[in-house]
A = this chain, B = another copy of it.
Amino acid sequence: MGNLPEPLAQRLADSGLRATPQREVVYQVLLHKRDHPTAEEVFARVKTEMPGISLATVYNCLETLVTCNLVRQVNFERSPTRYCPNLEPHAHFHDEATGQTHDVKLPPAVLDQVKAVLPPGFDATSVEITFRGAKR
């Protein structure tokens, strides 16, 4: 609602951006109910407080918050699905410079360690590990 937890204005300013009402409301909505909403869901929630806001603005604000490192996108970037016939357990390394995806061998011990972070009651059928970065 009205009050912003100050990181927002500060972080935006650091990036040379303004703290607008729309950005504040979008950020508040994300902080308020942390159920990993989609852009459409954020839009619906924001509209109850700011009925005039547009979907495009919600997308813009989300993008801004992501670039300020205040918010993470879970399903990362929107690119076509890729297919891989390698059935061994492996991670993927996505080279942001070239757009190429490389397989990275995943030792069973590491995979076990990763699976062990799940609290009781969480039964995973699959794990996906994806790195992004640049390859020399």
Q: Which of B84, B117, B118 contacts A36, CB < 8 Å?
A: B84
Q: Is the CB of A105 within 8 A of B82?
A: no
Interface presence of A40 (CB below 8 A) = yes
- In this complex, which of A36, A114, A121, A133 has the most chain B Cβ atoms within 10 angstroms of its Cβ? A36
Q: Which residues of B contact A113 (CB under 8 A)?
A: 110, 113-114
Interface presence of A85 (CB below 8 A) = yes
8 cross-chain CB contacts under 8 A: A31-B85, A34-B86, A35-B100, A35-B101, A36-B82, A74-B84, A124-B132, A128-B132
Counting contact residues on chain A (CB < 8 A from B), the size range is 35 or more
Q: Which residues of B contact A18 (CB under 8 A)?
A: none
Q: Is the CB of B75 within 8 A of A27?
A: no
Q: Which residues of B contact A119 (CB under 8 A)?
A: 104
Q: Is the CB of B118 within 8 A of A104?
A: yes
Beyond known contacts A104-B122, A122-B136, A126-B131: 5 more, CB 8 A cutoff: A30-B83, A38-B83, A104-B118, A126-B132, A130-B130
Q: Is the CB of B114 within 8 A of A86?
A: no
- In this complex, which of A30, A39, A86, A117 has the most chain B Cβ atoms within 10 angstroms of its Cβ? A117
Interface presence of A10 (CB below 8 A) = no
| Known contacts A72-B83, A88-B1, A126-B131; is-contact A110 B121 (Cβ 8 Å) | no
